Structure 1
Amino acid sequence: MDKAQELELAVAELNAENTEAENEILLDVTCMVSNKEWQE
């Protein structure tokens, strides 16, 4: 499993009780972090 998948799973677990809006923001942040890691 790569880092992006690990992040997605962690976010999903943390956000089981969050609203959809909160999840959207966290997914956006997660994607930005993942993209920065891949570009390095």
Structure 2
Amino acid sequence: MKVRVIDNACRDFKNIDYTEVSANKICYRWQIFLEK
């Protein structure tokens, strides 16, 4: 379920109006946050 949440978060951020690079960084931060 963790992977699913991260994937959804990435999609949401990309849909708003972030660049791919920014979205990737945010996704990475979400991963770290959810893993801990």
- Cα RMSD (Å): 1.7
Task: Count the aligned residue pairs.
Answer: 35
Identical pairs, percent:
14
Q: Which runs of 4+ in 1 moved over 6 A?
A: none
Instruction: Please report the TM-score for the alignment, with normalisation by the length of structure 1.
Output: 0.56
Q: 2: CA distance between counterparts of 1:13 and 1:27?
A: 10
Question: More helix per residue: 1 or 2?
Answer: 2
Instruction: Please report the TM-score for the alignment, with normalisation by the length of structure 2.
Output: 0.60
Larger radius of gyration: 1
